[in-house]
Structure 1
Amino acid sequence: MTRWLLPVLVCSLVACTDYNGDKALQNYQQRLERVLDISQKNTALPDAAAMAAQRDLKQPLPDIRLDLTDAYATRRCSLDTLIGERNSSLGKVYNASKQLSYELRFLSQLQRCLEQSWDNTTLLNQLQHVYQQKQHSIDIAFNNMLLTDDTLRKELLGIRKALPLKAAPGFSETWQALTELNQLQQFIAEQNWQAASQIDIEQQLQLLYRYNFIARLQYSLRTASHQLAQLNRLSEAKAPSALCPQQRDSEQLHILANVFSKYFVAEVQLYTSELSRYQQQLWPLLQQLYQHTDLHTPLTLRFEQTYLDMRTELSHHVKWWQTLNSQCPLKLTAQQ
């Protein structure tokens, strides 16, 4: 696609903290409507792809108990503290993330215990049986965290708040948190319980909760795609040839050139470029986390498909400007 290259003019509005990408697109549309002398009724933002309810995604963990008559084993393995933690009033109501953390710490401790020498083979067999059962159930605990944790759920549902035009706060922290969760997923796949138990799950979730970057990115992609589609309906209602009969210059064309450089290039293209950067770095991490879950399809629609739709609508809009520039004396500079 041919890219238009003009000096980026920084609008004073960009400095305002509440001037985000949505408002930039709305501002651009209003200015285009005035200069083209066209008004259109905007349509409502379509609903995002539906996601299954949390209650339908949660799976029960097998009730695995250490029924040891000899307390020596639990003390020797330092499992007595963990068992006490799980049986406490707080442990009985662990949410999905804390339950996963507990299961990983238990597996790590039990693995170290089994590496010791044991004279009591009956007790050893019992511990090995519990270890195998815990290994088989850890994927359920991990998926429960991915699918039902309140912080992650909020991020995946999205919030009605667009990202700023550039340098959105929280991007690097969100990338870090998703990278850590992917590392956790890898450690679990490798059955590296020691490394997995060292990852602070709550810290990563706190980073996601603090910035709501994924939720805002999702909403921003959806609204940008929708608003660009409306812009295309607006611009395509005006044939470029009608704006300059016999290629005559006019005040209207000068205003259009100013709208193009000051509001489309400096704001709209800047914003969509930032959204593309965020999407290209964060979506692969999300996709890796959720690829084998029931949420993979709706998340693909909410993120990747919406991103592709945005790029398509943006391309169509740039082509309208290219056609106008080729047929009218706008003198916009293009670079292949």
Structure 2
Amino acid sequence: MAPKRMNGVRTGASFRLWCVLILLVIGGCSATDSPEARFDDYLSRLARTLDVSSPSSQAPPRLRYPDKRSLQLVIETPRTGWIGLFQLHRCGLVNLVSERNSILGRVAPPQDRLAYESRLLAGLKQCRTELDSKEDTADDRDLRRQLDALIEIKRRAVPRIFWNLTLADDAMAHLFSVAPPPLGLKASALGRASRQALTRLADAGRTLAEGGLLDASALSKSYEILEGSTYGGQLQSAALVAVARLDAATAMLQQRMARRPICFNAQPNRRARTLYTILREVYGPNVQSYLADLVRAGREWRAAVASLVDAQQVAPRPAFTAYETRTLSAKTGVWAALDTAIVRHTKSWQDAMGQCNLMPGE
């Protein structure tokens, strides 16, 4: 049955229109609300009120994640076949090693390779322990020596393998890709899944270092998240854009105050009251609230990445250290620049409103 008409308009279409309107109201009355739109509105209002031209606010170049070649570590990988097939049978490791040495095993995803390394090292240690409880024969003594040598080699190799399969892996390069546009609003919430995936990998690294077993299926969930996310790169881009926009706003305030005071004799005028309205009703609820969340997102992201770095049992490659200094440090690079930009902008507002006795809270 066709829907009834109401004033020449189908009831169904009218209902859908009301649904769209309600969703817009719930979502903040704007389908185009974004950090970029908020900064554009803020800067244009400042420029009009201060009667100054808006300076360029082009964000500086984003820093790309180091290439795989500059990150990977060389690994000593002796073939376990040098122990001999008979000895591997005695250790119960023939199937495991054969599976790893197969064509599919050589191209296995990182979670399978990490799980294999944990199972192999655990198996070798167990075999070595069991030999101590058996009759001391020449063959056993020879196998003990071979196992001791292999276990030591694997102990040295496992930390390097973990590094290559985490911070030097393709998943990490994708996670920090700067190709996509900057993040939207609520940057902290958008990074929750990626932060949790990094934390789980860090836990796996500690388990591996302690000789525990890793579950490939559990690890695969973390890798799937990281391979499907570009959060790290987008967050860096968002911080750089924020720095550029804040610096542009600060320059406008300083340019106007250098030309002549906004108020004389600390007496508010119409321009000062308009500025005060922009500060309270535009900068505070729109820009400053976004910046607070962005700063929190940066702090949470740096902690998550640091947990994975700390779980490594090897020193990071120089290429990673340089990248970390510029993009993942609170004291240098992108995040230090954002903190500085916020402080400078706050100071400029204090100077401007201080001329007019219109400081917030007064």
Same fold (TM over 0.5): yes
Q: How many residues align?
A: 322
1:301-320 → structure 2 map (5 Å cutoff): 301-304=326-329, 305=332, 306-320=334-348
Return 33-42 or 196-205, whichever deviates more: 196-205
Does the C-alpha gap of structure 1 residues 84 and 195 become closer, same or farther in structure 2, counting only changes over 3 Å? closer
- Larger mean Cα displacement after TM superposition, 252-261 or 193-202: 193-202
Q: Choose which of 307, 322, 335 in structure 2 pairs with 1:297.
A: 322
CA RMSD of aligned residues (A): 2.9
Partner letter of residue 55 of structure 1?
A: R
Q: Map residues 176-187 of structure 1 onto 2, 5 A cutoff.
A: 176-187=196-207
Determine which of 255, 261, 275 is the counterpart of 1:242: 261
Q: Secondary structure at the match of 1:264?
A: helix
Extract unaligned runs of 5+ from structure 1: 1-10
1:127-181 deviation per Cα after TM superposition (whole angstroms, max 9, x unaligned) = 3322211111112212212343122112234344333333654433223222222
Structure 2 counterpart of 1:217, one-letter code: L
Sequence identity, in percent? 21
What is the CA–CA distance in structure 2 between the aligned matches of 1:284 and 1:92, rounded to whole Å?
33
TM score, norm. by length of structure 1: 0.83
The amino acid that maps onto 1:226 is: A
Q: Which amino acid aligns with 2:147?
A: L
SS, match of residue 284 in structure 2: helix
Question: Deviation per CA, 1:298-326, whole angstroms, max 9, x where unpaired?
Answer: 22211322112111111111111112222
Q: Does 1:257 align with 2:276?
A: yes
What code does the residue aligned with 1:184 have?
A
TM superposition shift of 1:273: 1.0
Q: Report the secondary structure of 1:67's partner residue.
A: helix
| 2:68 and 2:170 in contact (8 A); partners too | no
Please say if 1:207 is aligned against 2:221: no
Match of 1:57 in 2: 71
Report how far residue 97 of structure 1 moved: 5.2
Q: Which has the larger radius of gyration?
A: 2
Q: Does 1:34 align with 2:48?
A: yes
Offset at residue 35 of structure 1 (A) = 1.6
Corresponding residue of 1:108: 122
Q: Is the 8 A contact 2:125 2:151 kept in 1?
A: yes
Query: What secondary structure sits across from 1:242 in the alignment?
Result: coil
What SS class does the counterpart of residue 293 from structure 1 fall into? coil
Task: State whether residues 162 and 216 of structure 1, in contact with CA within 8 Å, keep that contact through their aligned partners in structure 2.
Answer: yes
Task: Give the stretch that moved more between structures: 108-117 or 318-327.
Answer: 108-117
* Paired letter, 2:277: N
Contact 2:193 2:225 in 1 (8 A): yes
- Secondary structure of the residue aligned to 2:165 is helix
- The amino acid of 2:117's aligned partner reads E
Residue 280 of structure 1 aligns with which residue? 299
Asked whether 1:132 is paired with 2:148, we answer: no
CA distance in 2, matches of 1:235, 1:63: 62
Q: Structure 1 stretch 64-73 or stretch 314-323: which is displaced more? A: 64-73
How far off is 1:80 after superposition?
2.0
Q: Give the deviation of 1:40 after TM superposition.
A: 3.0
| Distance in 2 (alpha carbons) for counterparts of 1:77 and 1:220 | 53
What is the deviation of 1:62?
A: 2.3
Partners of 1:112 and 1:197 in 2: CA distance: 19
Q: Which residue is 1:269 aligned to?
A: 288
Contact 2:253/2:349 (<8 A) preserved: no
Question: Which deviates more, 239-248 or 255-264?
Answer: 239-248
Counterpart amino acid of 1:182? Answer: A
Q: Select the residue among 173, 182, 188 that pairs with 1:153.
A: 173
**Partner amino acid, structure 2, of 1:220:** A
Moved over 6 A (4+): none
Q: Quick one: higher RCO (CA 8 Å, sep 6+), 1 or 2?
A: 1
For normalisation by structure 2, the TM-score amounts to 0.77
Structure 2, gaps ≥5 residues long: 1-24
Matches of 1:133 and 1:113 in 2, distance apart?
A: 16
What is the distance in 2 between the residues matched to 1:186 and 1:17? 45
